[in-house]
A and B are shown apart, each in its own frame.
Chain A
Amino acid sequence: MSPASRKRPPVELLYLAVLLAYPLLVYPEDALFRLTEISIGMQLTYIFIYAILALGLNVVVGFTGLLHLGIAAFFGIGAYITGILTVPAYPFQLGFLAALALSTAGAALLGVLLGAPTLRLRGDYLAIVTLGFGEVTRFTLRNLEEITAGTRGLNPVPAPSLPVAMTVPLHWLGIEPDWSLDYRLFYYLALGLLLLVVVLLRNLEHSRLGRAWVAIREDELAATCMGINAARVKLSAFALGCGLAGMAGCLYATTLTSTAGPDAFDFNRSIIMLCCIILGGLGSVRGTLLGVFLLIGFDNVVAPILDGLIQGADINPSGNPLLTFSNWKLMIFGLALILMMRFRPEGLIPSVQIEAEMTKDLPGPRGIRAEAR
């Protein structure tokens, strides 16, 4: 560890402190809401949820080097498992924690079922299989109307029940103990889970398993020669990545109080998540978090604000869709990625190893661009 990286933790703790304090201060949220008519706190909650999703994808793509183009399907599977287990239309009506555990486990299991026969495929083929699985899942969710309510989605997904012991400290913090009245409960729930996931991944990254993931990404044959069980290690990355996506899906449905429709989990969603981790830095937890913050922040906060400004300035009275900012966002994401690949291909905060590969002229080995074809 270089001295620079040893000094970093305090900076991260500072970000965390800001995120923890933001809702409690009330004033900034109110002021920003008056200014933008967007609840920044609520949007941060969604950013935390997408961060869990992106961290899951990063385990598969970033750490292990398996191009997964259908992560949104597992996000959706988590959301729908939660929906089925909790909405009044079904007899189960489980609590939040049970739904969270089963959504995570269910998505992980489906990840294993998809991965077991396909993980021996190389690069491009795996990408196509996962892409196909993503779209098949979306159409299945849409067509199994008796189970999934088709395009309407399942709702209402009930809010988690608060333990009685929480009401007093919540009152003391000035938070309403009612999920529909106070966004801050969801905010802290999502932030808390995100923290758990970050700590888990930070530990895994330096564990035997984490090193095996990276070795497989670097060179699968050599990894096998080192005594790594490549099939099992890849499957574990797939299970964890898809499981985290399912966990994010459960949180998403709970926060939204609905599973949303199947189209919320389309290929675009997978690609945007992939953009997040490429922008931030493949294989880097810190980079993934930054990438999500920038891209989803742009998508959910900056774009609507610009839309509002355009609307307010009467530039677009006839409602021409080309004159709304949101319709250009994929174009802008694409442009951002092209610029990244040109000027900083290792991402904003690259993993140490990928940076080493990208910034020095290596003789033989393939670069990440070749790998991420």
Chain B
Amino acid sequence: MPALLEMQEFYAGYGPIEVLKGISIEVRPGEIVALIGANGAGKTSTLMGISGCLRPRRGRVLWESQEIQQLPAHEIVRRGICHSPEGRKIFPRLTVLENLQMGAFSRRDRAGIERDLVHAFELFPILAERRTQAGGTLSGGEQQMLSVARALMGRPKLLLLDEPSLGLAPMIVVKIFDVVRKLNQEGMAILLVEQAARMALKLAHRGYVMEIGQITMVDKAAALLTDKRVQDAYLGE
């Protein structure tokens, strides 16, 4: 089966610093792919490169076999790649409902948006309860749920999740990961960036390990979980 997303030899950076040094990543339809690595390895930058917020210096991003690395970010959203960025980045002064509506900004099918809104509230019932509350007044976990739900409102074929577990209680993380699994069972491909490597690899089909701007390992998630080097460096054993 051809890959949904293929990042090929992707180089990018900020000013004089090169932070991505030839990244190649592939996501196939219906797959959960985990991208793990230490702080500062370049995981966030990788996602930004896919969603068009960070321009490549070299390399390509293929989406359904078409080059998208030169498209502006708002065009990439339209093609079905939605991004829940690191740090949640919800709109603090907009209500929960308005936040979700912003997620559907690139769409015009009112009936479809309405349906997806209902679906988002089914996945995260707490958001339905808080729908008129300002996003910034939500708890950290609720904000993370809102960030994921908002990305879903763009009706992604591929969902990019940047550290959804960051700073959250384990119980909340389990809840969010359950939703991720459910979305995947509905057919959505997911690229999950995580520092909580064990949880991410348990959830994912395949995993990539990233170190200072380069991919150092690729394998089935189960294989990575039992790999000695991964265990030593990322699983705390």
Among residues of B, the one whose C-beta sits closest to the C-beta of A356 is: B134
A1-45: which residues lie under 8 A (CB-CB) from chain B?
none
Residue-wise, chain B 98-113 has the 8 Å CB interface mask toward A (1 for contact) of 1001110110000000
Partner of A363, one of B74, B84, B91, B140: B140
B124-176: which residues lie under 8 A (CB-CB) from chain A?
134, 136-137, 140, 150-151, 154
| Minimum Cβ distance to chain B for residue A6 (Å) | 15
27 A-B contacts, Cβ less than 8 Å apart? A211-B101, A211-B102, A212-B105, A215-B91, A215-B94, A215-B105, A218-B92, A218-B94, A221-B85, A222-B85, A222-B89, A222-B90, A224-B73, A224-B74, A225-B51, A225-B84, A225-B85, A225-B89, A226-B102, A226-B106, A227-B73, A227-B154, A353-B93, A357-B136, A360-B137, A362-B134, A363-B136
Instruction: Judge whether B40 is part of the interface by a CB distance below 8 angstroms.
Output: no
Q: For chain B, give the interface size range.
A: 20 to 34
Chain A residues with CB below 8 A from B103, complex form: 226
Among residues of A, the one whose C-beta sits closest to the C-beta of B91 is: A218
Among residues of A, the one whose C-beta sits closest to the C-beta of B83 is: A225
* A365→B135 CA distance, assembly (Å): 10
7 closest cross-chain pairs (CB), A and B: A227-B106, A227-B77, A353-B93, A365-B92, A356-B134, A222-B89, A218-B91
B61-107: which residues lie under 8 A (CB-CB) from chain A?
72-74, 77-78, 82-85, 87, 89-95, 98, 101-103, 105-106
Instruction: Judge whether A124 is part of the interface by a CB distance below 8 angstroms.
Output: no
Chain A residues with CB below 8 A from B150, complex form: 226
A300-353: which residues lie under 8 A (CB-CB) from chain B?
353
Instruction: Give the number of A-B contacts (CB < 8 Å).
Output: 88
Chain A residues with CB below 8 A from B77, complex form: 225-227
Residue-wise, chain A 217-235 has the 8 Å CB interface mask toward B (1 for contact) of 0110111111111100000
| Minimum Cβ distance to chain B for residue A227 (Å) | 3
Residue-wise, chain A 55-94 has the 8 Å CB interface mask toward B (1 for contact) of 0000000000000000000000000000000000000000
Partner of B92, one of A221, A223, A362: A362
* A227→B74 CA distance, assembly (Å): 4
Q: For chain A, give the interface size range.
A: 20 to 34
Chain A residues with CB below 8 A from B84, complex form: 225
| Cβ-defined contact, B105 with A354, below 8 A | no
Chain A residues with CB below 8 A from B134, complex form: 353, 356-357, 360, 362
Among residues of B, the one whose C-beta sits closest to the C-beta of A362 is: B136
| Cβ-defined contact, A354 with B93, below 8 A | yes
| Cβ-defined contact, A219 with B91, below 8 A | yes
Spell out B's residues near A (CB within 8 Å).
Answer: 51, 53, 72-74, 77-78, 82-85, 87, 89-95, 98, 101-103, 105-106, 134, 136-137, 140, 150-151, 154
| Cβ-defined contact, B92 with A225, below 8 A | no
| Cβ-defined contact, B53 with A221, below 8 A | yes
Instruction: Judge whether A108 is part of the interface by a CB distance below 8 angstroms.
Output: no
| Minimum Cβ distance to chain B for residue A86 (Å) | 42
* A226→B91 CA distance, assembly (Å): 11
Partner of A229, one of B72, B95, B98: B72
Instruction: Judge whether A208 is part of the interface by a CB distance below 8 angstroms.
Output: yes
Chain B residues with CB below 8 A from A221, complex form: 53, 85, 89
* A364→B89 CA distance, assembly (Å): 10
Among residues of A, the one whose C-beta sits closest to the C-beta of B90 is: A222
Instruction: Judge whether A214 is part of the interface by a CB distance below 8 angstroms.
Output: yes
| Cβ-defined contact, A215 with B93, below 8 A | no
Chain A residues with CB below 8 A from B140, complex form: 363
Besides A225-B53, A229-B74, 14 new A-B residue pairs in contact (Cβ under 8 A), listed by A number: A211-B102, A215-B91, A218-B92, A219-B90, A221-B89, A223-B102, A224-B73, A225-B82, A227-B77, A353-B134, A356-B95, A360-B137, A362-B134, A365-B92
| Minimum Cβ distance to chain A for residue B91 (Å) | 4
* A262→B102 CA distance, assembly (Å): 43
Chain B residues with CB below 8 A from A227, complex form: 73-74, 77-78, 105-106, 154
Chain A residues with CB below 8 A from B151, complex form: 225
* A354→B93 CA distance, assembly (Å): 6
Chain B residues with CB below 8 A from A228, complex form: 74, 105
* A363→B168 CA distance, assembly (Å): 14
| Minimum Cβ distance to chain B for residue A30 (Å) | 47
Interface centre among B78, B95, B103, B134, by most chain A C-beta atoms within 10 angstroms, is B134
Partner of A226, one of B72, B105, B136, B137: B105
* A222→B87 CA distance, assembly (Å): 10
Partner of B53, one of A215, A224, A362, A364: A224
| Minimum Cβ distance to chain A for residue B33 (Å) | 19
Chain A residues with CB below 8 A from B53, complex form: 221, 224-225
Interface centre among A208, A212, A364, by most chain B C-beta atoms within 10 angstroms, is A364
Among residues of A, the one whose C-beta sits closest to the C-beta of B107 is: A227
